[in-house]
Amino acid sequence: MSIRTRFAPSPTGYMHIGNLRTALWAYLIAKKDPEGVFILRIEDTDQGRLVEGATDIIYNTMRECGLKHDEGPDIGGPVGPYVQSERVRSGLYMEYAKKLIDLGGAHYCFCDEETIAKAKAAHAGNGESFKYDDPCKYISKEDAEKRIAAGEPFVIRQTIPAEGTTSFDDEVFGHIEVDNSILDEQVLIKSDGFPTYNFANVIDDHLMGITDVVRGMEYLSSTPKYNLIYDAFGWDKPRYIHCPPVMKDEHNKLSKRNGDASFQDLMAKGYLPEAVLNYIAMLGWSPENNQEIFTLDELVQAFNVKHIGQNGAIFDPVKLTSVNGLWLRGMDLDSYVKLTEPYIRQAVKGDFDIRKIAAGVQQRANTLCEIPPMLDFYDTFPAYSNDLYLNKKMKTNPDVARETLPACRAVLAEITDWTHDTLHERLMELPVKLEKKNGQVLFPLRVAISGKPSTPGGAIEIAEILGKEETLRRIDLSIAQLENE
């Protein structure tokens, strides 16, 4: 049987990184099987928490990442609808809930919240798990139905066997076993007629033929309850892959509430979707070899549930930045130019060769946002201090500059073929002639035409891009500044 996985987010806000990673892993697990199907399902049974536009964010993020689903609300599929609120309307969950009541796996409950809260308060601090002993369990079905017909509000709760244990084998955490006595008789159908996550999720996973349930480990301890439902219906249970959390630091999970990085934020900060995906795939998972950079397709090939770890992984923006830089540097120049031109143009409005500027920046920028600040000296020659000529390693200082700069100027003024090769050839004659080191000639030149302590490119590259006229103009200004000191 081919693998079917699903990503089932609630449209309650932005897509955070932990969520995205769950989606990615679910995708990888499905796609590892050539016949595998990856499904997108929207879980919007909590009408009160819906956030407008949240569904679009989910679609957009998935699309930007290249996580294409095979079935989902927007593209349909054989087991739709793929939005839970639409399924509610067909009465589907209620129907299954009633069936479950007949099978002894659930019961009607008329207790109000106050009663339950009181029972809980009375129990507090006695050293045991609280479990509400629902008196409604003992109401006969006939009586219950009479009360419902009379208009009394009700919920449907799961009925859990008082004794015994329930266990399952998680693909990541191994064998998990709990006493039924501590399992909560959770609400399956709310008083508004909507199912809870706990119920809708089980029903839909079964109806949609999900073979591998991939979700956060916060569900680990409630999984036995879900299995009890599968068992009551006599359904096959899926494989479970519970994912360890993605943490912000040692103590806190990444969460949107704290304003932690969402996928959108990372895009705005100049990261590539491919790099983000690449990085988060490895939060809690590691490949069998030492490969670090993976395309999505390579991830599909390399991914293996057996190598998912059990402990929470801290999201490290520094490492992400490094991975992003590797991606950026690995691009061919054409694609790089296309990608970065808007960023370059933020800083460079003048008529310069964008391609050459891009080439200089490619080996240096780790994120797209680092690009503009590197390039601010092209349009306007910045004010700078003569102290910039002082560099111990290069053995340069303002005096050296006073000596070499005029020589550079003279050589450059004569060049008619303003190309990288010619500039290189002619400029490299100078150190020999002046009996200086290369750095003593080229370092001051670079400072003199850029006005910056560091630049994306050396003197020759920058001079080439600036053009002859502007280069000479800047040298003249710099020589004048040196003499006025």
Partner RNA sequence: GGCAUGUUGGUGAAGCGGCUUAACACACUGCCCUCUCAAGGCAGCAUUCACGGGUUCGAAUCCCGUACAUGUCACCA
Residues 375-394 that bind RNA (CB under 7 A): 391, 393-394
Q: What residue has token string 């099987």?
A: 33
Per CB under 7 A, the list member of 103, 139, 182, 472 interacting with RNA is: 182
Rounded to 5 degrees, what angle do the CA atoms 159, 165, 171 make? 105
Residue in 78, 89, 140, 251 binding RNA, rule: CB under 7 A: 251
Residue 234 interacts with RNA (CB under 7 A)? no
> Least CB distance from residue 137 to RNA, whole Å?
14
Give me the active site residues, please: 256
198 is a site residue for RNA (CB under 7 A): yes
310 interacts with RNA by CB under 7 A = yes
Q: Can you read off the two tokens belonging to residue 219? A: 């569900």
- The nearer residue to RNA, 2 or 301, going by C-beta atoms, is 301
* CB of residue 174 to RNA, shortest distance in Å: 6
Compute how many other C-beta atoms are within 10 angstroms of the C-beta atom of residue 258: 10
**Binding of RNA by 318 (CB under 7 A):** yes
Nearer to RNA, 252 or 380 (CB): 252
**Using rule CB under 7 A, residue 252 touches RNA:** yes
Nearer to RNA, 43 or 71 (CB): 43
Tokens of 428: 């490299």
Rule CB under 7 A: say whether 472 interacts with RNA. no
Shortest reach from residue 444's CB to RNA, in Å: 9
248 counts as binding RNA under rule CB under 7 A: no
Residues in 76-135 that interact with RNA by CB under 7 A? 111-113, 116, 120, 125, 127-131
Q: By C-alpha distance, which of 194, 183, 191 is closest to 159?
A: 183
Looking only at Cα atoms, what is the longest distance across the chain?
108
CB-wise, 2 or 51, nearer to RNA? 51
Task: Determine how many CB atoms are found less than 10 A away from the CB of residue 369.
Answer: 14
* Residue of the chain from 63, 99, 141, 329 that contacts RNA (CB under 7 A): 329
Q: Which of residues 393-412 bind RNA (CB under 7 A)?
A: 393-394
Which residues 415-444 are close enough to bind RNA by CB under 7 A? 424, 438-439, 442-443
User: Would you say 113 or 435 has its CB closer to RNA?
Assistant: 113
- The CB-of-107 to RNA minimum distance in angstroms stands at 14
Among 220, 277, 401, 405, binds RNA (CB under 7 A): 220
Name the segment binding RNA (CB under 7 A); options: 59-67, 168-176, 378-386, 398-406: 168-176
**Is there binding between residue 253 and RNA (CB under 7 A)?**
yes
# chain residues binding RNA, by CB under 7 A: 91
Q: For the chain, give the secondary structure using H, E and C.
A: CCCEEEECCCCCCCCEHHHHHHHHHHHHHHHHCCCCEEEECECCCCHHHCCCCHHHHHHHHHHHHCCCCCEECCCECCCCCCEHHHHHHCCHHHHHHHHHHHCCCEEEECCCHHHHHHHHHHHCCCCCCCCCCCHHHHCCHHHHHHHHHCCCCCEEEECCCCCCEEEEEECCCEEEEEEHHHCCCCEEECCCCCECHHHHHHHHHHHCCCCEEEEEHHHHHHHHHHHHHHHHHCCCCCEEEEECCEECCCCCECCHHHCCCEHHHHHHCCCCHHHHHHHHHCCCECCCCCCCCCCHHHHHHHCCHHHECCCCEECCHHHHHHHHHHHHHHCCHHHHHHHHHHHHHHHCCCCCCHHHHHHHHHCCCCCHHHHHHHCCCCCCCCCCCHHHHCECCCCECHHHHHHHHHHHHHHHHHCCCCCHHHHHHHHCHHHHHHCCCHHHHHHHHHHHHHCCCCCCCCHHHHHHHHCHHHHHHHHHHHHHHHHCC
72 part of the interface to RNA, by CB under 7 A? no
What's the closest the beta carbon of residue 170 comes to RNA, in angstroms? Answer: 8
* Beta carbon nearer to RNA, 3 or 155: 155
18 makes contact with RNA (CB under 7 A): no
User: Shortest Cβ distance from residue 2 to RNA (Å)?
Assistant: 25
Is residue 459 involved in binding RNA (CB under 7 A)? yes
For RNA, the closer of residues 140 and 290 by Cβ is 290
354 binds RNA (CB under 7 A): no
- Of the pair 99, 307, the CB lying nearest RNA is at 307
Residue 322 vs 422, nearer CB to RNA: 322
How, if at all, do strands 106-109 and 37-40 pair? unpaired
Interaction residues for RNA, span 30-69 (CB under 7 A): 43, 45-46, 49
Decide if 42 contacts 82 (C-beta within 8 A). yes
Q: What does R_g of the chain's alpha carbons equal in angstroms?
A: 32
For RNA, which stretch binds (CB under 7 A), given 138-146, 219-227, 351-359, 407-415? 219-227
Q: Which stretch binds RNA (CB under 7 A): 261-269, 341-349, 378-386, 446-454?
A: 446-454
Least distance CB 131 / RNA (angstroms): 7
